[in-house]
Amino acid sequence: MTEYDAKQAAHLHPIIHSHVPSEPALRVKALETLLVEKGMLDSAAVDAWVEVYSEEIGPRTGAGVVARAWCDDAFRQRLLADGASAVAELGITGWALGNLKVVENTATVHNLVVCTLCSCYPHGLLGIQPSWYKLEAYRSRAVRDPRGILAEFHETIPDNVRIDVWDSTAELRYLVLPQKPEGSETMSEESLAALVTRNSMIGTQRHLSVGIGEVSRGRNS
Amino acid sequence: MQQSDAPEQKSPAFDEPWQAQAYAMSQVLLENGMVKPEIWAISLGKAIKTRLESGAKDTTETYFQAVTDALVSVLSLGDADLMQTIEAWRAAYETTPHGKPVILAGTTN
């Protein structure tokens, strides 16, 4: 029979109830402390970044740009010619959007965006990149086997549709302009924006349809 | 890549708060000009590769650990300073009673 050992219990209690963060969390905390001490970083700016990008921006900003392009052909043409200037017209700016290239899906072309080196992404338009975008599995296969990757996202691209893969860099970010879904002809710009998903602007989703939208419901992860 | 990761709604950007904090630090340092974008991309790419080549799994956690590796590397932070600060934080957590704010002596965060 197991006996109660007061000494052992006293020893174990603080261990069981330890609130010491995990090793990676401690490392990040220490890193932040050092950077603040060196005057390189303001903790408030870090907290604000997390709040703004994970909770406020999400992919809704990008969805609004796509909807505007669907409704205003002159804007669409400016967007394709010079993405950064066109989104700046809508008041969207940011260091990561200084060089933005918008690539348009058509009946014969599908575009897919990746960052083979790390995870470069147009945060100002799409919020924070999804976890799969950062994984080696996506980063390497998107170039080597784009149809295979798209199949994993339940997208079958017909053989007569060419797939263009765009490799983001620190200097150049991409946004896919998806095709306007069938049946949306009479919808308002706001309603159209609600149909646009984050994945469709990365290119891992080709087919949008009325009723699919994720963005308007705040799914930005 | 796991197929279950593919659908949009099943792919959160961060699994744990420290990952958001690490990534935010990198982005703030890029925005405030302390780190050059082209140097950051190279450093992060190298850090990811190093982690994967040393046997780490291709996961979100590995990616964000590489982000912290790249920050240490690109900002030329000394390992000794970092280890000392990690241990100071560990001691602060271990000695702070539950329910009280954990404060590192001599700092405000």
pLDDT greater at residue A79 or residue A134: A79
pLDDT at A118: 85
pLDDT higher than 50, residue A4: yes
Minimum Cα–Cα distance from A14: chain B residue: B94
Mutate to test the interface with A, among B10, B23, B53, B103 (most CBs of A within 10 A): B23
Mean pLDDT of A19-27: 88
CB contact under 8 A, B8 and A22: no
Minimum Cα–Cα distance from A32: chain B residue: B25
CB contact under 8 A, A171 and B38: yes
Tokens of B6: 């593919």
- Smallest CA–CA distance, residue B32 to chain A, in Å, is 8
Residue A128, sorted as left (phi over 0), alpha (psi -120 to 50) or beta, turns out to be beta
Whose CA is closest to B27, among A167, A46, A153? A46
Q: Which amino acid is at A79?
A: L
pLDDT higher than 80, residue A14: no
- Residue B103: band (very low, low, confident or very high) from pLDDT cuts 50, 70, 90: confident
Which residues of A are catalytic, by number?
115, 118-120
CB contact under 8 A, A32 and B16: no
- CA–CA dist A41, B21 (Å, integer): 12
Whose CA is closest to B65, among B86, B57, A54, B12? B57
Helix (H) or strand (E) holding A93: none
pLDDT at B49: 95
- CA–CA dist A163, A143 (Å, integer): 10
Mean pLDDT of B77-90: 89
pLDDT higher than 60, residue A221: no
Per the prediction, chain A carries an average pLDDT of: 86
Task: List b or e across A204-221, with b for residues whose CB sees 16 or more CB atoms inside 10 angstroms.
Answer: bbbebeeeebbbeeebbb
- CA–CA dist B63, B66 (Å, integer): 5
pLDDT higher than 70, residue A101: yes
pLDDT at A84: 92
Helix A23-37 with B60-74: angle, nearest 10 deg = 30
Mean pLDDT of A134-143: 91
- CA–CA dist B35, A99 (Å, integer): 18
Mutate to test the interface with A, among B4, B25, B87 (most CBs of A within 10 A): B25
Least confident of A28-37, A94-103, A191-200, B35-44: A94-103
pLDDT higher than 50, residue B4: no
- How confident is the model over A151-190, as pLDDT tens digits? 999 999 999 999 999 999 888 899 999 999 999 999 999 9
pLDDT at A96: 65
- CA–CA dist A200, B32 (Å, integer): 31
- E-assigned strand segments in A136-200: 162-167, 173-177
pLDDT greater at residue A58 or residue A113: A113
Minimum Cα–Cα distance from A120: chain B residue: B41
Tokens of A43: 């903790």
In chain A, what are the domain boundaries? 58-217
pLDDT at B62: 94
Mutate to test the interface with B, among A18, A27, A99 (most CBs of B within 10 A): A27
Whose CA is closest to A25, among B68, B84, B100? B68
What is the separation, in whole angstroms, between the first and last Cα of chain B? 37
CB-closest option in B21, B38, B42 to A46: B21
pLDDT at A123: 85
- CA–CA dist A90, A157 (Å, integer): 32
pLDDT greater at residue A92 or residue A55: A92
Mean pLDDT of B72-82: 88
Tokens of B33: 């000009």
Fold of A58-217: Nitrile Hydratase; Chain A (3.90.330)
Contacts with A25 (C-beta within 8 Å, 6 or more apart), sequence order: B16, B17, B18
pLDDT higher than 70, residue A56: no
CB-closest option in B13, B61, B82 to A31: B82
Mean pLDDT of A66-84: 97
Mean pLDDT of A17-31: 84
Give the up-direction half-sphere exposure of residue A95: CA atoms within 13 A in the CB hemisphere.
13
